[in-house]
């Protein structure tokens, strides 16, 4: 017998309003159609409906970067975006960076070569963010890389190795200081 002191708890989560919305995405180069509730985040769609579990749920508040994916080539925190907003977009996750034949993306290989992960939880978001950082073309030195990657946290503290991996792929090398030109006589 139910009393007011015994609230009913649903195991299914919030009740659906019946107003599911059809959306289409290109996920890692493949078409993906689904009808979802309007409050489903892109993160939850990727993990729970598309089985792309490389995308990690860290803070669920946009503060750690573990959920970073590429939306039309730009990095986004998928926990902060409603999936319906991404309708028609091209989404790339860590699973979509390697070539079809299994050859790793150069960033994935650099993370291995530089031991740029310890527990690995943040690695998919770090790599997706780094892929966009390289495409943006704003990083000109190691300090730029560190600053532009500051939205991706690593609790293990592998930051120097992460920076090394990104710099290696970018092939950033310290540039010799140019000498001031002498005035012509």
- Is residue 118 included in any domain, yes or no? yes
Q: How many independent structural domains does the chain possess?
A: 1
User: 80 and 68 in contact (C-beta within 8 Å)?
Assistant: no
- pLDDT attached to residue 76: 98
Segment 114-165, tens digit of pLDDT:
999 889 999 999 999 999 999 999 999 999 999 999 999 999 999 999 999 9
CATH number at residue 27: 3.10.20.30
CB of 137 closer than 8 Å to CB of 168: no
Query: Which domain does 62 fall in, by range?
Result: 21-170
**Does residue 88 fall inside a structural domain?**
yes
Cα angle value 114/111/26 (rounded, 5°): 170
- Give tens-digit pLDDT for 84-117: 999 999 999 999 999 999 999 999 999 999 999 8
Four-residue CA torsion sign, 79, 140, 136, 54: negative
Interhelix angle 106-113/159-170, nearest 10 degrees: 140
Assigned domain for 49 exists: yes
User: For residue 184, is it within any domain?
Assistant: no
Bridge partner residues of 35 (DSSP): 22
Q: What is the pLDDT of residue 7?
A: 40
Indicate whether 115 belongs to any domain: yes
Q: Does this model's pTM top 0.85? A: no
How far apart are the C-alpha atoms of 141 and 157, rounded to whole Å?
A: 20
* Domain contains 97: yes
């Amino acid at each position: 017998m139910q009393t007011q002191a015994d609230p009913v708890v649903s195991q299914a989560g919030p009740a659906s309003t019946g107003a599911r919305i059809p959306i289409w995405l290109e996920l890692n180069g493949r078409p993906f159609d689904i009808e979802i509730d309007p409050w489903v985040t892109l993160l939850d769609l990727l993990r729970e409906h598309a089985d792309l579990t490389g995308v990690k749920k860290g803070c669920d508040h946009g503060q750690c970067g573990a959920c970073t994916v590429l939306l039309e080539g730009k990095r986004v925190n998928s926990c902060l975006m409603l999936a319906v907003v991404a309708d028609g977009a091209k989404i790339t996750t860590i699973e979509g960076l390697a070539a079809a034949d299994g050859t790793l993306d150069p960033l994935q290989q650099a993370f291995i070569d530089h031991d740029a992960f310890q527990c690995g939880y943040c690695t998919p978001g770090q790599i997706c963010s780094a892929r966009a950082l390289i495409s943006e073309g704003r990083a000109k030195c190691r300090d730029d890389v560190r600053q532009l990657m500051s939205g991706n946290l690593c609790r293990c503290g592998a930051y120097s190795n992460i920076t090394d991996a990104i710099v290696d792929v970018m092939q950033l090398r310290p540039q010799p200081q140019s000498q001031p030109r002498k005035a012509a006589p």
